[in-house]
Structure 1
Amino acid sequence: MTRFSDRFDPGPQIAQCGTVNLGTRDLEKSLFFFRDTLGMEEVERDGNVSYLRCYQELGHHSLVLTEQDENIVNAFSFRVKRPQDVELFAEELARQGIETLEVPAGTERGRGTAVRFLVPGSQHPFELYYDMEKPLAPEAMRSRLPSNSSKRRGLGVRRIDHFNVQTSPDTINQAERWVRDTLGFKRREFAHLADRRDTVLASWMSVTPQVHDLAMVANAAGKTAQLHHVAFNLQDFSDVLSAADTLRDLDVSYGVGPGKHGIGQAMYLYIHDPGSDHRVEIYAGGYLIFDPDWEAIEWQPEAFPEGMTWYGDPIDTRPGSRGRDTTGCAGLYLPQHPRPKLVAAG
């Protein structure tokens, strides 16, 4: 007997923020940061590629570290809701005339077949997949809680939380609209540029009850295909404060924080992986959205600084400012990475 829900086909959907493949010039330094300090489990090593997961992630990995000449993001990956959704999305991309690449199963260890493409407008390399192995951790590392893949270690990052990416003011409207219309992301909070009121400054979007699984932001330098940060989730505000103490003692490079965002209402701390200089946000708290009729909240320019920092280190939001750090300012993100190519990561 079929379930009632099986009689209806909602079409392909994104389930969650899945994995990120970060290029690093120094794999061992990056492992010191993500594995030894943040507490991720190194599930597998394949030559110059390391696969890691957080202690509450059952899947094979959420982070791939690839030792290479450039500190670039090789891929942002999202898991879809059903096995057939990979092919259905591929068909839709082809219908729109978007070039795609099939990434065979096993190209990224533990992961099934994926479809790879560059986001129209922003040119970020996205991959969509469904199948992911769920290996047990080594017995000595295994948690007695079956919902945890391993024991809590280090700073105790629980899971990958979200991606924050940048594109140019001239392309952000196209890219932000496309990820909503085609991939099904819902706009939760947003702002427009003060001097271009028809242009998105920043948009926080999600496919889950989180305020954002993906943020898309206007890059002041006019660049596309930029990363601002990848965020990993901690359980409590106090965990972020403890992490700040530990990371300062280890001389890990700081950006801004700890503080609390008004947008999303989570505690933040921006830091940098010493192996690659990729920016990482340590993130805890935030509110959840369950209303099916949620209306996106618009932040006006005069209130936007409180959106960036409700309390904690103030984030300078003045146009063109190059103060202590502009890492948290949605309109002033510093360009970080060259343009990616449509080639398979891994």
Structure 2
Amino acid sequence: MTQSRDYDPGPRIAHAGSISIGTPNLERSLWFFRDLLGMEVVSQADGVAYLRGYQELAHHSLVLTQQAESKINGYSFRVQRPEDVELFHQQLTAAEIESIELPAGHETGRGTAIRFLVPGSEHPFELYYDIDKPVAPADLRSKLPSNSSRRRGFGVRRLDHLNVQCSPSTVNGAEQWLQDALGFKRREFAMIPQFPETLMASWLSVTPQVHDIAIGVNGEEKNGAFHHVAFNIENYHDILRAADEIRDLDIDYGHGPGKHGIGQAMYLYIHDPGSGARIELYSGGYHIFDPDWQAIEWKIPELQYGQTWYGEALDVGPGGAFLSTTPSAGLK
């Protein structure tokens, strides 16, 4: 059977595009992301800096804003087609979900976007299509045309995924909405052992990655909670080098290095000293190409291997340091 040329799958998300972090100490955050992690500052003015990894051709994947409170100002996703921004806006309006239009240039280098709060989780999502692809300055440019700049610092290649949390009473509905309304596919998941009807965490993607976003339960029943953003680096060796060098620096070391069973990537969690936001350096992992992929459920006793396959175990017990989060901004 041939597919009609008129077939339209509807609006779709292409990938996780950027995260916007509010920091009380912009210069300290810039040192961390630019000088230590090796990201390129594409633009900076009026207390706002835009950065990208060395394999990102788009204008930015990270926005840093000088402000009084550490807060995640927005989570942005690029859509597949220019018209998908308006089509998603129409769907949100039909579902009586408030959204606001952000004009072109609201973020430097980015076109028109829409902003809304995810029902249930209350995270501020932004959807856009148009974004500039500037050429790096000559002194940073790589000879590889697939790289936006030379590899520097710890070698952040690109934004990999986002990890957010919300309350036990809303996590199931929020995760289902991400699937139904935005087209994310559940790849791996775990239920709370003591409350098997409630999600502990779900890893979802629209790309072949295991997750472009993960959503989990917040033990303090907070909505709009941010756990971490992961930046992809090339090799396991780079993770070990970062762990070794960070020990000599005055920043919060976090957890790791180790390897997750879920997603099967090597990790190192550290904290931006300007904002306190948790950052994961992430390398490896597997990709999903099966169109009929069945989500993998992690249960006790195997769940311990999902969190940490080898390396330092994550401190996920009651009151554990690994469970601390950063708040997110509201709709406006």
> Which TM-score bucket, shorter chain as reference?
over 0.9
Provide Cα deviations, 1:95-120, integer angstroms capped at 9, x if missing partner: 00000000000010000000000000
Partner of 2:139, secondary structure, is: helix
What's the counterpart of residue 9 of structure 1? 8
Tell me if the contact between 2:72 and 2:326 (Cα under 8 Å) persists in the aligned partners: no
What's the counterpart of residue 330 of structure 1? none
Partner of 1:141, secondary structure, is: coil
Amino acid aligned to 1:341: G
Amino acid aligned to 1:94: T
The offset of 1:7, in angstroms, is 3.2
Amino acid aligned to 1:48: G
What's the counterpart of residue 298 of structure 1? 297
The reply on whether 1:223 has 2:212 as its aligned counterpart is no
What's the counterpart of residue 263 of structure 2? 264
The offset of 1:335, in angstroms, is 3.5
Tell me if the contact between 2:38 and 2:154 (Cα under 8 Å) persists in the aligned partners: yes
The reply on whether 1:76 has 2:69 as its aligned counterpart is no
What's the counterpart of residue 143 of structure 1? 142
Amino acid aligned to 1:81: Q
What's the counterpart of residue 186 of structure 1? 185
Q: CA RMSD in A?
A: 1.1
What's the counterpart of residue 324 of structure 2? 334
The offset of 1:334, in angstroms, is 2.1
What's the counterpart of residue 198 of structure 1? 197
After TM superposition, the score normalised by the length of structure 1 is 0.93
List structure 1 segments (4+ residues) > 4 angstroms apart after TM superposition: none
How many angstroms apart in 1 are the aligned matches of 2:223 and 2:5?
40
Amino acid aligned to 1:70: E
The reply on whether 1:88 has 2:87 as its aligned counterpart is yes
Provide Cα deviations, 1:30-67, integer angstroms capped at 9, x if missing partner: 00000010000000012100000000000000000000
Tell me if the contact between 1:188 and 1:212 (Cα under 8 Å) persists in the aligned partners: yes
Partner of 2:326, secondary structure, is: coil
Tell me if the contact between 2:21 and 2:62 (Cα under 8 Å) persists in the aligned partners: yes
How many angstroms apart in 1 are the aligned matches of 2:17 and 2:307?
25
Question: Residues 104-253 of structure 1 correspond to what in structure 2 (within 5 A)?
Answer: 104-253=103-252
Amino acid aligned to 1:252: I
Provide Cα deviations, 1:138-189, integer angstroms capped at 9, x if missing partner: 0111111000000111111000000000001111001000001000000000
Partner of 1:7, secondary structure, is: coil
Amino acid aligned to 1:336: T
The offset of 1:251, in angstroms, is 2.5
How many angstroms apart in 2 are the aligned matches of 1:246 and 1:286?
23
How many angstroms apart in 2 are the aligned matches of 1:294 and 1:211?
11
How many angstroms apart in 1 are the aligned matches of 2:4 and 2:178?
26
Please list every run of 5 or more consecutive structure 2 residues that lacks an aligned counterpart in the other structure: none
What's the counterpart of residue 99 of structure 1? 98
What's the counterpart of residue 274 of structure 1? 273
Tell me if the contact between 1:219 and 1:334 (Cα under 8 Å) persists in the aligned partners: no
Percent of aligned pairs sharing the same letter: 59
The offset of 1:211, in angstroms, is 0.3
How many angstroms apart in 1 are the aligned matches of 2:83 and 2:301?
46
How many angstroms apart in 2 are the aligned matches of 1:229 and 1:84?
30
Tell me if the contact between 2:116 and 2:126 (Cα under 8 Å) persists in the aligned partners: yes
The offset of 1:302, in angstroms, is 2.0
The offset of 1:276, in angstroms, is 0.4
The offset of 1:5, in angstroms, is 8.0
How many angstroms apart in 2 are the aligned matches of 1:220 and 1:89?
31
Tell me if the contact between 2:192 and 2:200 (Cα under 8 Å) persists in the aligned partners: yes
How many angstroms apart in 2 are the aligned matches of 1:283 and 1:112?
29
The offset of 1:249, in angstroms, is 1.6
Partner of 1:31, secondary structure, is: helix
Please list every run of 5 or more consecutive structure 1 residues that lacks an aligned counterpart in the other structure: 328-332
Q: Which stretch shows the higher mean deviation, 196-205 or 247-256?
A: 247-256
Provide Cα deviations, 1:280-306, integer angstroms capped at 9, x if missing partner: 000000000000000000001322111
Cα 1:284–1:50 shift into 2, 3 Å: same
Partner of 2:182, secondary structure, is: coil
How many angstroms apart in 2 are the aligned matches of 1:150 and 1:340?
32
